[in-house]
Each structure stands twice: as C-alpha cells, then as structure tokens.
C-alpha cells in the first residue's frame, strides 16, 4: 500500500491537479483579459504555503486544507490587479476574505450533532454576509453620508437602506478595539491581505485569520441588534 505524502515536496506534487482545477473554475468567471497561467501561478503560491504550514498531527486532510489556501491565494492575486473595475475588485476581496473565514471555520468545526451543525451554518451565514457587506462598503461611507444629509434627494427605499447600513457599519468599525478595527480597515478598505494586515498589528497570519473571523461575527451581531441586517 502506498504511503501518504508527508514531505512538503510530496504534498505539493500530490495537489498539482487541484491547483489547475481551481484555476480553471475561477478563470471561467473572471474577465477574459486575465491569463489562466497567472491564476495557476497564484495557486502554486498558496499550495506551497499550505505544504509548509500543514500539520498532520491535527488530523486534517491535506487536500481539504490546501483547497482553501490555493483558492485564497488566487483571489488575493486577483484583488491586487490594479486595473480591475471597482465591482470586480469588491468581488475578489469578498471571495478572498470569505474563503479565509471558511478555511478557519472548517478547520475548527468538529460538530457531530444536528443542532451543532445548524448553529455553525447560522454563524457562517452571518459571517459571510458581513464579509460581503464590508467588501462592498469600502469607499461608500462619504457618498452615503452625503446622500443622507441631502434631504431634497429622494433616494429609492432600497438605496436609502443600503446607505444607512453602510454608515452604521463604519460607526461600528470605528467602535471596535484598535487591532480589530485596523485589521478590518486594512483588509477591506486598503486592499491588504490578511498576512499583510497581521504584520501591521504585529500578529501572524493565523492569528489575523482568527481575529478577522471573530470580528466579522461581532459586527454581524451588532448590526442585528440595530435591526439593520437580515
């Protein structure tokens, strides 16, 4: 019987097909001007990092672990392409940061009962919704505030609700502990990766991922209390 791959080189070799598969799937949903080879290169970086950081003693499957790291690296690379449109950039930031939250929650969730699974799904739904909102609110605060102050402007109800939600979101971010607020602003508003944002506040990428996920949960609960989130 073949022994499972254990060295970083063996782990990398075992997931070359996964890198190409994920790159192909993502390439099918991005502008045609983006080269497939670029996505594969980004994915290879994520795979190399996964092989370096993987700890088999934690009982995780490497392919599952690598999946999130590869996918996240591809979206991180896409988000740094400066010639993206605002909408494309927001989508890539969301995909990258939501992927990080899914990676963390997937690694930490060990539920074995239906109630636990339901709680996990609800928590992840709130976390991903908050990540989406942050991704699309990065530079809308001033526009939203201006629209709210202009009482002569008759904005459609949906637009007015969105503007108010964005305004409240920025207020909640301002009220976060310093490190959490810095991390959210750096990743969603300045375009830094979680690793880069973590370095700014003096923590590792792993701790930045944890702080990111917990902060999104905190913001979601706060918005729910304000009855501004579903």
Torsion region of 5: left, alpha or beta (phi above 0 gives left; psi -120 to 50 gives alpha): beta
Helix then strand count (H, E) for the chain reads: 11, 0
Tell me the two tokens of residue 6: 């254990």
Q: Name the helix (H) or strand (E) containing 80.
A: none
Q: What is the pLDDT of residue 145?
A: 44
87-230 fold: Butyryl-CoA Dehydrogenase, subunit A; domain 3 (1.20.140)
Residue 61 has pLDDT above 50, yes or no: yes
Q: What is the pLDDT of residue 212?
A: 93
With 0-12 / 13-18 / 19 or more C-beta atoms within 10 angstroms meaning exposed / middle / buried, residue 26 is: buried
Q: What is the pLDDT of residue 175?
A: 92
Domain made up of 1-84: CATH architecture: Orthogonal Bundle (1.10)
Q: Is the Cβ–Cβ distance between 137 and 172 less than 8 Å?
A: no
State how far the alpha carbon of 75 is from the alpha carbons of 59, 99, 138, in Å.
27, 9, 17
pLDDT digits (tens, 9 = 90+) for 112-141: 565 665 666 677 777 888 888 888 776 544
Q: What is the mean pLDDT of residues 132-155?
A: 56
Residue 3 has pLDDT above 80, yes or no: no
Model pTM score: 0.64
pLDDT digits (tens, 9 = 90+) for 185-224: 999 888 888 889 999 999 998 899 899 989 999 998 888 8
- Extents of the domains making up the chain: 1-84, 87-230
State how far the alpha carbon of 62 is from the alpha carbons of 45, 68, 106, 148, in Å.
16, 10, 13, 49
Tell me the two tokens of residue 10: 């063996």
Residue 152 has pLDDT above 50, yes or no: no
pLDDT digits (tens, 9 = 90+) for 62-98: 898 899 889 888 988 887 776 566 677 777 777 888 8
């Amino acid at each position: 019987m073949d022994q499972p791959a254990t060295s970083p080189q063996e782990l990398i070799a075992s997931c070359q097909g996964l890198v190409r598969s994920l790159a192909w799937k993502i390439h099918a949903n991005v502008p045609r001007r983006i080269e497939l080879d670029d996505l594969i290169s980004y994915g290879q970086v994520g795979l190399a990092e996964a092989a370096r950081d993987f700890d088999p003693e934690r009982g995780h499957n490497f392919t599952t672990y690598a999946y999130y790291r590869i996918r996240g690296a591809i979206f991180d690379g896409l988000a740094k392409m400066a010639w993206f449109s605002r909408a494309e950039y927001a989508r890539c930031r969301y995909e990258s940061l939501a992927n990080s939250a899914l990676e963390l929650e997937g690694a930490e969730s060990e539920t074995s009962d239906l109630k636990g699974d339901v709680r996990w799904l609800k928590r992840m739904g709130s976390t991903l919704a908050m990540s989406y909102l942050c991704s699309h609110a990065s530079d809308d605060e001033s526009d939203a505030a201006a629209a709210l102050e202009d009482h002569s402007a008759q904005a459609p109800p949906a637009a007015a609700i969105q503007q108010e939600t964005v305004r409240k979101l920025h207020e909640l971010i301002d009220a976060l502990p310093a490190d959490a607020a810095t991390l959210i602003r750096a990743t969603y508003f300045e375009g830094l990766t979680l690793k880069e944002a973590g370095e700014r506040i003096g923590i590792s990428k792993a701790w930045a991922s944890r702080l990111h996920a917990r902060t999104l949960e905190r913001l979601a609960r706060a918005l729910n209390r304000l009855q501004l989130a579903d």
